[in-house]
């Protein structure tokens, strides 16, 4: 092919030699300037400070017979609660949530940008064709000369067809660095999508447990109102018989009114969380959550305590935190900022480009193509910002500053992730202890109520004492229901802090580039 081209008009040997030199220089394209990226060390301890607390908690759960067995799998931790309603809600939220769909669209955009950046390193080819009809002015430079030629025709048609190719030879790796930066940003967008997934799963589970708590506490509050109402009636009867004071009547009325005030906040909590669930499932409030509300009210879900799964502490903080999408995204942004340093440093060096056109041009349409109309063109371009180093210095300084900022953000994300896990573990363990103490309180108060009932049956106490014991039992049961929910929500927060809720199929931080 080179031999054929050397025979064509306009393709002189010097041009060919320059083109070959440029092609040979293209072999240096892999020599990219700038620092190669190395993921910074995690600098985290071998174990979480709360690992011992988790171990003690699991042992306590096992001794109490409340442990679900094996530790929950982080990828699908919500299934470890063994609640089909919760599982259905989470699956529907993952399928229909609009935030997740928007995050997936952002990933598509970022990947397209990465492909476009990579394509800059490849030659481009364009085909073009044209037909131009022109009426030549007699006053134009060409027309003023040609008008003196006998038979000059001012009207002519120009036919052209050809293919053009161009390639910027990436001598110093500027395009390579830019492509790698775009690829890292695409990976960051993917991690952010996974972070949205983690948040959606956790928020759906949190809202579900709050709905269950509101429903259970509403039932307890209704029982409390009935008990306080009966107490008030007894006190009024005793007052009429001269066995109670007006103060005692007022106190019983206040107890009833106070019990009634607990209903509106609980109804508000139930409705707002149901609406929250609908939005998480990508629906108008009132679409799906109402059915879920009816289901949980009609079955025995509210009658049995929540089952809190065990959480493994076998992994080191560095391993678990590499699951955190926010940490992964911060690390990928750090990698992108490192590549931008190389891209900016490449501006100090010259840029070479090759371009060529193989085409045909004629004024007679029937002669396209032909040897006579063949019109090739080859060009070697050089661009060097030789007198713009001041601006390049600023660009490099900006890139290095952005890299330092990204490094600080990455380290901060690791620290905050560790903080989230430590706080979640402490909260989970302490609420577990609170739940245990309240369960003991419920048992003790139930025994006290049974004793009051036996004494009433034996005639040693009045119905007032029995109803008062009922009221105290309901109060403790309400606190226990709230503690159960707080315990479940703390478990959800722990799974979220550990980065649970997505399939970790991405490369490790040290390997990702």
Write the pLDDT tens digit of every residue in 487-509: 999 999 999 998 888 876 544 44
CATH number belonging to the domain at 40-59+72-120+172-348+394-498, selected among 1.10.3720.10, 1.20.1600.10, 2.160.20.60, 1.25.40.10: 1.20.1600.10
Write down the CATH superfamily of domain 123-135+154-169+350-383: Outer membrane efflux proteins (OEP) (2.20.200.10)
* Chain position carrying tokens 């979480």: 48
**Using only C-alpha atoms, what is the Rg of the chain?**
38
Nearest CA-CA partner of 308 in 212, 420, 218, 429: 429
DSSP string, 59-100: HHHHHHT---SSPPPGGGGGGGG--HHHHHHHHHHHHH-HHH
Domain ranges of the chain: 40-59+72-120+172-348+394-498, 123-135+154-169+350-383
What pLDDT is attached to residue 391?
Answer: 92
Look up residue 296 and give its two tokens: 């949980």
Fold match between 40-59+72-120+172-348+394-498 and 123-135+154-169+350-383?
no
Range with lowest mean pLDDT among 80-89, 196-205, 269-278, 317-326: 317-326
How far is the C-alpha of 275 from the C-alpha of 198, rounded, in Å?
Answer: 20
Mean pLDDT of 408-427: 91
* Chain position carrying tokens 């070697």: 380
Q: Which residues, in sequence order, are CB contacts of 364 under 8 Å at separation 6+?
A: 159
Where helices occur in 120-173 by DSSP H, the ranges are 141-146
CB 277 within 8 A of CB 209: no
Mean pLDDT of 80-105: 92
How many CA atoms lie less than 13 Å away from 405 in the CB half-sphere? 10
Q: Which is higher by pLDDT, 233 or 129? A: 233
CA distances from 81 to 5, 86, 379, 493 (A): 74, 8, 69, 14
Q: Which residues, in sequence order, are CB contacts of 62 under 8 Å at separation 6+?
A: none
Query: pLDDT per residue over 240-265, tens digit each?
Result: 988 888 988 898 899 899 989 999 99
How far is the C-alpha of 223 from the C-alpha of 211, rounded, in Å?
Answer: 19
DSSP class of residue 168? E
Note the pTM of the prediction, 2 decimals: 0.81
């Amino acid at each position: 092919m080179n031999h054929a081209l050397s025979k064509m008009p306009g393709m002189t040997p010097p041009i060919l030699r320059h083109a070959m030199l440029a092609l040979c220089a293209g072999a240096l394209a892999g020599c990219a300037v700038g620092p190669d990226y190395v993921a910074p060390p995690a600098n985290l301890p071998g174990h979480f400070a709360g690992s011992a607390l988790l171990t003690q908690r699991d042992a306590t759960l096992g001794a109490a017979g409340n442990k679900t067995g094996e530790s929950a799998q982080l990828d699908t931790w919500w299934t470890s609660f063994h609640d089909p309603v919760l599982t259905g809600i989470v699956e529907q939220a993952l399928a229909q949530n609009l935030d997740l769909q928007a995050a997936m669209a952002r990933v598509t955009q970022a990947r397209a940008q990465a492909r476009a950046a990579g394509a800059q390193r490849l030659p481009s080819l364009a085909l073009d064709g044209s037909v131009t009809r022109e009426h030549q002015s007699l006053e134009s430079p060409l027309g003023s000369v040609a008008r003196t030629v006998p038979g000059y025709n001012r009207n002519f048609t120009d036919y052209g067809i050809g293919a053009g190719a161009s390639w910027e030879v990436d001598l110093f790796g500027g395009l390579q660095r830019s492509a790698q930066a775009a690829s890292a940003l695409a990976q960051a967008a993917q991690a952010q999508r996974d972070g949205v997934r983690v948040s959606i799963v956790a928020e759906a589970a949190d809202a579900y447990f709050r709905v269950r708590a509101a429903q259970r506490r509403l039932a307890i509050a209704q029982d409390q109102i009935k008990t306080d109402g009966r107490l008030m009636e007894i006190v009024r009867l005793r007052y009429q018989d001269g066995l109670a004071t007006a103060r005692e009547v007022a106190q019983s009325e206040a107890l009833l009114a106070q019990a009634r005030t607990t209903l509106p906040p609980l109804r508000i909590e139930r409705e707002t969380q149901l609406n929250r669930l609908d939005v998480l499932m990508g629906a108008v409030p009132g679409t799906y959550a109402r059915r879920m509300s009816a289901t949980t009210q009609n079955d025995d879900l509210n009658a049995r305590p929540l089952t809190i799964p065990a959480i493994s502490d076998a992994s080191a903080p560095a391993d678990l935190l590499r699951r955190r999408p926010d940490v992964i995204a911060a690390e990928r942004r750090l990698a992108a900022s490192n590549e931008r340093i190389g891209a900016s440093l490449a501006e100090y060096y010259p840029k070479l480009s090759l371009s060529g056109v193989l085409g045909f041009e004629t004024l007679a349409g029937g002669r396209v193509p032909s040897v006579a109309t063949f019109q090739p063109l080859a060009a070697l371009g050089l661009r060097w910002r030789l007198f713009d180093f001041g601006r390049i210095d600023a660009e490099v300084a900006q890139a290095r500053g952005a890299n330092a900022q990204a490094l600080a953000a990455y380290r901060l994300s690791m620290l905050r992730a560790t903080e989230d896990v430590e706080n979640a573990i402490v909260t989970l363990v302490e609420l577990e202890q609170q739940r245990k103490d309240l369960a003991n309180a419920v048992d003790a108060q139930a025994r006290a109520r049974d004793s009051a009932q036996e004494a009433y049956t034996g005639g040693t106490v009045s119905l007032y004492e029995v109803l008062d014991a009922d009221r105290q039992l309901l109060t403790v049961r309400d606190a226990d229901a709230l503690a159960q929910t707080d315990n479940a929500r703390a478990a959800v927060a722990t799974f979220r802090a550990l980065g649970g809720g997505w399939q970790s199929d991405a490369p490790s931080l040290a390997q990702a580039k």
